[in-house]
Structure 1
């Protein structure tokens, strides 16, 4: 799988009593890779072809794992205007690796998303003004990094009515208390920024008359210098972090999110949380 070079996060920020310090938190560390591509769905719901984006950047073992699993998927047949049709659906999923016994790793698929980011589609919510959040000073001073996965409720006037951090993954090791504190810091910071955003709301399609829309926006806090060239953007590399707990927004039914993982959404997009996509009938690993 190409895991030999994975670096498990930065030096701990603090040291604390046994059971609550970085050693205990290290057990929560996982390494993952976000893989994107497309699947071709036949009229009977089976998958006839799998295309992986920038396949040459992916470890061969990951390519084999994803392709073999996807070719076993079966979807609910896709109906357009009363007729069952073939379809090509975008996909993004996370390949997760956890340290096992000795030098072994347990590798699995977790979370699958079929949403396409299309800011030009008048049926979608699209950004008008989304100033990025300022890096929290405390996090900047300590070198803390993380990813916040926001659920945002947008009203008919394009203003944000509410925002909620569904998950916060951290890119460093520290005590459990410090992890919790920085998750809350990043979450508050991202939510505060989101409340100032404005959006273009849908003007056509089935959802155009809704009183509000739910969207998802990934927000990354990473210290960097300058623009990262496309060929060095990290795609195809393992990323290690301490995965945060999944939380449900108070205005959402948790059952709606039963098979969804927020961190399957690639950075840089605005995603419709209630968009209808292909419905997978088989387990994620196929069969």
Structure 2
């Protein structure tokens, strides 16, 4: 299910700034051509109420009052069409309430309006005390790369981290880097590499608590996903304002697969639906299984 918004319904989606050194000439690889790749999105959180037969009886959106009316309608109308694999506890089907994180994406179309659709969904939450899950111990944030900071380069790096049985990181990989500034295509590639290298370097020094209960405790290693955001502080040292319920513009980078992962392991995964600041198990299905298409219908 896609919906159309007028330009005012997606106010501010194209507010990405271009560094002063970037050329604005309209040519292949120029700032102008990169601008055409810009999309805007927001993460919408909430809960879905699942009946014993797997149908959805209700949707509760987090801070609904902060969300655009059209987004609320799109998410609620779509989610009510979903059907899940029935949830079984102790041999019988039960009702359940599952956490939900959705990425809603807006792209400009002909006529100046915006097409809004759902890109991905996660029914997983970040665990902090679950003995079946990998949880954080020491996760010092990466230092902002000087070149990126001086150039005003900002963005989000979506990491896949391989955690060994001793809780130390065996490997880390940037699955995707979305940049929240405009520049020439060559500079976009350069700064994706700069931010990815910085995030991966920091991740390799992190430590985690590994699972101590259940089947997960016997694994030789675990994969977790960690979103990392690079945002320059505002004047006076304050952080960027709360963005929940507001469109955020970016140039989406290509999705890459970690060398130790197979295509089948990555099927259906959507790293950019995970909220910043959490640690998410990549292979442990802690959420319900959606049987119908994400977009409904």
Give the alignment's TM-score, normalised by structure 2: 0.92
Partner of 1:6: 13
1:279 Cα deviation (Å)? Answer: 1.0
User: Which whole-Å deviations, capped at 9, do the CAs of 1:51-82 have from their partners, x for residues lacking one?
Assistant: 10011110110000000000000011111222
1:17 Cα deviation (Å)? Answer: 7.5
Within the alignment, does 1:249 sit opposite 2:258 as a pair? yes
1:255 Cα deviation (Å)? Answer: 2.3
Structure 2 CA distance, aligned partners of 1:285 and 1:207? 32
1:256 Cα deviation (Å)? Answer: 2.4
What is the total number of aligned residue pairs between the two structures? 285
Partner of 1:284: 294
Structure 1 CA distance, aligned partners of 2:291 and 2:265? 16
Tell me how large the CA RMSD over aligned residues is.
1.4
Query: Does the CA contact (< 8 Å) of 1:152 and 1:217 recur in 2?
Result: yes
Structure 2 CA distance, aligned partners of 1:80 and 1:227? 46
1:22 is aligned, of 31, 35, 57, to 31
Partner of 1:105: 114
SS of residue matched to 2:156: strand
User: Which whole-Å deviations, capped at 9, do the CAs of 1:136-158 have from their partners, x for residues lacking one?
Assistant: 00001011101000000000100
Structure 2 CA distance, aligned partners of 1:105 and 1:5? 12
SS of residue matched to 2:216: coil
Partner of 2:126: 117
User: Which whole-Å deviations, capped at 9, do the CAs of 1:69-102 have from their partners, x for residues lacking one?
Assistant: 0000001111122211111111101100000112
Partner of 2:169: 160
1:187 is aligned, of 172, 180, 196, to 196
Unaligned runs of 5+ in 1: none
Unaligned runs of 5+ in 2: none
Q: Higher mean Cα deviation, 23-32 or 129-138?
A: 23-32
User: Which whole-Å deviations, capped at 9, do the CAs of 1:225-257 have from their partners, x for residues lacking one?
Assistant: 44559xx41100000000001011111112222
1:146 is aligned, of 143, 151, 155, to 155
Within the alignment, does 1:178 sit opposite 2:174 as a pair? no
Structure 2 CA distance, aligned partners of 1:26 and 1:7? 9
Structure 1 CA distance, aligned partners of 2:228 and 2:184? 23
Structure 2 CA distance, aligned partners of 1:157 and 1:264? 28
Matches within 5 A, 1:31-180: 31-180=40-189
Distance 1:239 1:81, change over 3 A: same
Give the alignment's TM-score, normalised by structure 1: 0.96
Distance 1:107 1:17, change over 3 A: closer
User: Which whole-Å deviations, capped at 9, do the CAs of 1:116-168 have from their partners, x for residues lacking one?
Assistant: 11201111111111111000000010111010000000001000000000000
Distance 1:17 1:99, change over 3 A: closer
Structure 1 CA distance, aligned partners of 2:71 and 2:239? 24
